[in-house]
Structure 1
Amino acid sequence: MLRFDPFSDLDVVTRGLLSSQAGSTRTPRFMPMDLCKIDDHYVLTADLPGVDPGSVDVDVDNGTLTISAHRTARSEDSVQWLSNERFFGTYRRQLSLGEGVDTAAISATYENGVLTVIIPVAERAKPRKIDIAHGGEQKSIQPTTVDSA
């Protein structure tokens, strides 16, 4: 089966224009991530292969979740590059969090090049059942009188 991609030639030209000299530091293009909701929390997973775990940073400020990480370039001067396609530098993603998120309980782990961020739903935003009082169950309120002396 032959697949036709009308943009493949454009991608080749764009890569050529955006890439710099071989062996130089280039800015990472993106941080691929997935986001899903499981029960009462969101799970964000981001691919960060080759990133030093100490450089991974997850911050929450004013309803914005910011993920940043840094991959350093090789510092060997005697390297003769035959192919240099991996990007080095700082990765950064920002997501706006809704009102229904418990920002104080967000947690993160970094294992085997994958960052996992658990974002719990706030208690006030969780679905709940509202009790309905039936007419026969309501108590009547009797007015009270206060004696004035």
Structure 2
Amino acid sequence: MTLMRFDPFRDLERLTEQALTGARGPRAMPMEAFRRDDRFVVALDLPGVGSGDVDLTVERNVVTVHARRAPLRREGDELLVDERPQGEFSRQFFLGDNLDSTRLAAEFDRGVLTLDIPVAEASKPRKVEISGGSETAEKPRIAEKASREESANV
């Protein structure tokens, strides 16, 4: 697999958060990942987060996304309902060795962070030229044998 998601504490964190807050809503940073030609595309939903509130780091083959979402209310506002997730969120995923993390590009548009990760050149399929070593030596022998057989039949 080329794009791996492994975070052994993610489920424990989610369960703990649900138990403490009673929250059963969607994840704070849902992700979609797919391959398109020679690239992998990863999209993370960050509604209500500005581009300046997103930090993206790549260390070796680990991509980490941190996002901060502040409440819209101000001091003195009377809070009636507060169901929007707020605070700091992070998501981490691991890239396979066949991806080129040095050429990772990111774009943030309308609350969606899109990462474009190319497949490493060394991992792309390539055509291997086959030399004609024994095949070229075999052809004269076959032609010689055929001419001897013709001579013997005459």
TM-based fold match above 0.5? yes
Query: In structure 2, which of residues 12, 21, 25 is the aligned counterpart of residue 18 of structure 1?
Result: 21
Unaligned 5+ runs, structure 1: 1-13, 21-27, 139-149
Greater helix share, 1 or 2?
2
For residue 146 of structure 1, what is the aligned residue in structure 2? none
For residue 98 of structure 1, what is the aligned residue in structure 2? 96
For residue 6 of structure 2, what is the aligned residue in structure 1? none
Unaligned 5+ runs, structure 2: 1-16, 138-154
Provide the aligned C-alpha RMSD in A: 2.4
Q: CA deviation at 1:80?
A: 2.1
Find runs of 4+ consecutive structure 1 residues off by over 4 angstroms. Answer: 14-17
% identical aligned pairs: 38
CA distance in 1, matches of 2:33, 2:20: 32
1:70–1:133 Cα change, 3 Å: same
Give the secondary structure class of the aligned counterpart of 1:117. Answer: strand
For residue 105 of structure 2, what is the aligned residue in structure 1? 107
Give the secondary structure class of the aligned counterpart of 1:74. Answer: coil
Deviations 1:18-41 (CA, angstroms, capped at 9, x unpaired): 249xxxxxxx95310100000000
Within a 5 Å distance, the mapping from 1:22-33 to structure 2 comes to 29-33=27-31
1:18–1:121 Cα change, 3 Å: same
Q: Which amino acid aligns with 1:74?
A: L
Q: CA deviation at 1:75?
A: 4.8
Task: Look at both structures and tell me which one has the larger radius of gyration over its CA atoms.
Answer: 2
CA distance in 1, matches of 2:58, 2:29: 18
CA distance in 2, matches of 1:137, 1:104: 45
